Structure 1
Amino acid sequence: MVSQQELKSIFPSFEDSLIDELANASDCKTFKDGTLLMKTGQYIRSTMIVLDGLVKVFREDEEGNEYFMYFIEPGQACALSMVCSSTQDTSELTAVAVGDIEVLTVPLSKMDELMAKYTDWYQFVLRTYRKRFEELLVTIDHIAFRNMDERLVFYLKKTQKGLKSNIIPLTHAEIANELNSSREVITRLMKKLAEKGAVKLNRNSVEIIDATLLDVT
């Protein structure tokens, strides 16, 4: 069980009684790097809040092709789990642990009760919906209106921010898979960024040397 002190440090605006209910009614779980937390077609029985670590959310088609959507960071919740748990629908996205993570799972039976009882929780849910909606709009804009070089830069910046690290531990093939592109295209674009001095290409990772040089000109 997660402690009240830990929850209060993550959610300082939550009133004490809400913190107490979350701590008593929820389960604290840890997962290893790469653990599949949610998959397309799965029924969701609880809402997931990230306490520590990072969760990557992506869209997967029937052929197994993936497209990166967004990260869920500490103090943030999975909006899709909130929607699906309340409507009893299946998930349309897949979520994977990035590094070792710790999450809080709030059961469906508790969600509606907290929404009705606590303004802080109600506002938290609304902010979560709005943030994910805005992130999806940005992602859609890049897919619909941007070239692959711009989409790659957007992806690198977002991953750097999510990981809070200049080292992105992904191969060109893995990045290509998440952007629904080919390894050859991503490798060619990465070499251009390396020639500009924006990145350093390693065997199984990319290091961002100068983020100001990432923008494609």
Structure 2
Amino acid sequence: MKNEDWTELFDGTRALPRDVRDRLLKSAHLVTAKEGKSIFSPDHIPDKLLFLINGVIRVSQTSENGREIVLYRVEAGQSCVLTTACILAEEAYNAEGVAETDIKAISLPRSEFDRLVAEMPAFRKFVFSAYSRRLIDLLRVVDDVAFGHIDVRLAERLIALCGGGNDIAVTHQKLAVELGTAREVISRQLVEFQKRGWLELSRGKITLNDKASLRKLSNN
């Protein structure tokens, strides 16, 4: 990215004075990671903040009994708010971040992050606005897991995953992780949907036959 000004790509850096942006171009550096690589893990204290240029990072938490739940995803144009929180609180991670696709990001040293938060109101606003939005998202996750009906949540997830097609390459275990429940619960509900004629199950794939019914259920 020698000739590319990455500070133009992010709301939190685009509004900074030119001299500050030039300083960031010198202090930050480009990092890449392949799909499946761990970006951060529990008990690790962050020393940098990543600004994601391309790809997706999945942030999840695993309970003592081994059950995993996806908290959120970091996508292009975003930074990880859990990293932000850990840097501000000087605490270690309590979740894991994994590259869900190949990623490309800008790594900003913690010292530079601290300086920006202290000196630049525009950057402070970016950090805390993103933090607030993600907190609301996480509260929705908690609400869904604690009080949501699994059939409604599963229908909603299937519709989201299918995009414009009908085939979804996904395992029951992955859906269970996404929805914060057990694989057996997902399997039972998928079989029920299949009995209704809404979908067809095969190894590693789900084919949606009646998206209208699934969408109607997801809107309940």
TM-score by length of 2: 0.81
Instruction: Pick closer, same or farther for the CA change 1:197–1:29 going to 2, 3 Å.
Output: farther
Instruction: Pick closer, same or farther for the CA change 1:96–1:158 going to 2, 3 Å.
Output: farther
Instruction: Give 1:116 deviation, angstroms.
Output: 2.7
Q: Aligned partners of 1:53, 1:2: CA distance in 2, in Å?
A: 20
Q: Which runs of 5+ in 1 are unaligned?
A: none
| Segment of structure 1 superposing worse, 47-56 or 177-186 | 177-186
Instruction: Give 1:123 deviation, angstroms.
Output: 1.4
Instruction: Pick closer, same or farther for the CA change 1:25–1:147 going to 2, 3 Å.
Output: same
Instruction: Give 1:211 deviation, angstroms.
Output: 5.5
Instruction: Give 1:22 deviation, angstroms.
Output: 2.9
Residue 49 of structure 1: SS of its match in structure 2?
strand
CA contact (8 A) 1:196 1:213 kept: no
Instruction: Pick closer, same or farther for the CA change 1:150–1:46 going to 2, 3 Å.
Output: same
CA contact (8 A) 2:61 2:69 kept: yes
| Segment of structure 1 superposing worse, 124-133 or 5-14 | 5-14
Instruction: Give 1:152 deviation, angstroms.
Output: 2.1
1:148 to 146, 150, 175: 150
Instruction: Pick closer, same or farther for the CA change 1:63–1:192 going to 2, 3 Å.
Output: closer
Instruction: Pick closer, same or farther for the CA change 1:123–1:175 going to 2, 3 Å.
Output: same
Residue 33 of structure 1: SS of its match in structure 2?
coil
CA contact (8 A) 1:52 1:102 kept: yes
TM-align CA RMSD: 3.0
1:49 to 48, 51, 54: 51
Instruction: Give 1:137 deviation, angstroms.
Output: 0.9
Letter in 2 for 1:77: S
Is structure 2 residue 15 aligned with structure 1 residue 8?
no
| Segment of structure 1 superposing worse, 196-205 or 20-29 | 196-205
Letter in 2 for 1:50: L
Q: Aligned partners of 1:173, 1:62: CA distance in 2, in Å?
A: 17
1:1-217 pair list within 5 angstroms: 4-11=4-11, 13-15=14-16, 17=18, 18-156=20-158, 168-193=168-193, 201-206=201-206, 212-215=212-215, 216=217
Instruction: Give 1:26 deviation, angstroms.
Output: 1.4
Q: Aligned partners of 1:118, 1:171: CA distance in 2, in Å?
A: 45
CA contact (8 A) 1:40 1:60 kept: no
Pick the structure with greater CA Rg.
2
Residue 75 of structure 1: SS of its match in structure 2?
coil
Letter in 1 for 2:184: E
Letter in 1 for 2:124: Y
Instruction: Give 1:102 deviation, angstroms.
Output: 1.0
Letter in 2 for 1:86: L
CA contact (8 A) 1:53 1:99 kept: yes
Residue 5 of structure 2: SS of its match in structure 1?
helix
| Segment of structure 1 superposing worse, 199-208 or 48-57 | 199-208
Instruction: Give 1:199 deviation, angstroms.
Output: 5.1
Residue identity (%): 27
Residue 52 of structure 2: SS of its match in structure 1?
strand
Residue 91 of structure 1: SS of its match in structure 2?
coil
Instruction: Pick closer, same or farther for the CA change 1:38–1:61 going to 2, 3 Å.
Output: same
Q: Aligned partners of 1:81, 1:5: CA distance in 2, in Å?
A: 23
TM-score by length of 1: 0.82
Give CA deviations for 1:110-157 in whole Å, capped at 9, x if unaligned.
112112332321111012101110110110110111122123234445
